[in-house]
Amino acid sequence: MPNQPATAPRQSAGRPELVVMAKPEAGLRALSTGVASVAPNVDTASLGSLLASRGAVMRPLFGLSEDRVRAQLSALAAAAPDTGPGRPREAVPDLALFYRVAAPADQLQQLANELVANDLVEAAYVKPPGEPPATAVLERAAINDMQPAPGDAPPATPNFIARQGYLGVAPAGVDATFAWTLPGGAGSGECSGRALQAGDAGLSGDDRSGIEGGASIYPRGSQRLNSGDGDQRVLCEDALGGVERSRRAGSIGRAE
C-alpha cells in the first residue's frame, strides 16, 4: 500500500484543544512533513523545532489546507449581496490563519505559552474541554402552602385597596383609578341603548344613508348582546367616539 500522509488526531469533545493563530505575513503552510512558509525570507525552523520537541502536530482548524480555505472564503465574498453605493462589503476574516495543535493534554498550556513567544505566531490559547449539560433534581415548591384561618370569616370583606398598587399611576400601575372617572371607564356609562339618528353630529354621508335605509348605528365601543331574536341590543355607550353599524341576524357591525 502507498504511504499515507501523517494526520493529526482530531480532538474529541471532552478534551482541551490548543488553537493557534498565525501572523498573516508568516505565510504558513501546515504540511505532512512539517511547517513551511510560502512567504519570502520567512524561516519556520524555530516553529518546527518547537512542535517536534513536544511531539505536536499542527493542522488547519477550518479545512484540509490553507489554500482550500482561502478559495472557499473568496467564493463566499464574491457571492455576498451588494451593500449599495458608498457602503463597502464587510471583510471576511482569514480563517486559514487558525490551526489546531495536537499534543499531550498535560503539555498544552506550556506549549501555548511557548508558541505565543514565537515570531510567526499571533496568538495561542487552550480551549477548555466541552462538558455535557448538568442535570439536578429540584424539589417542587407548593404554589400556596398557607393554611386557612381557624376563625370565622368577617361579616364584611376587608378593604384591600392598599394592596392593589397596580391600579395606581404608571409606571407601578395602569392608572385604573383615573379611567374610572371617564364615561364608561367603570364598565357602566350611559346605558341608554339609543341608536344614533340621521341628524346627529359626527356622522358621515354613508352613515346617514344607512340610517335612512333602516340600519341601526350605535356609538363605537358600545357593548352589545344578542337579544335572541337576531337583533343587537346596546348595553352601554362610552366616550371612544365614532360609530359602528349593527345589523340584524346577530352580526356585529364593522367599526369605522
In terms of domains, do 120 and 202 share one? no
Q: Counting every residue, how long is the chain?
A: 256
**pTM (whole model) above 0.85:** no
CA distances from 114 to 101, 111, 137, 195 (A): 13, 5, 44, 89
Give the chain's mean pLDDT: 74
- Quote the pLDDT of residue 137: 73
Tally the domains of the chain.
2
In terms of domains, do 26 and 111 share one? yes
Tell me the pLDDT tens digit for each residue of 222-244: 544 444 444 444 444 443 444 44
Q: With contact defined as beta carbons under 8 Å apart, do 62 and 35 qualify?
A: no
pLDDT of 76 higher than 70: yes
In terms of domains, do 25 and 118 share one? yes
Task: Establish if 143 belongs to a structural domain.
Answer: no
* Domain span at 55: 17-79+92-127
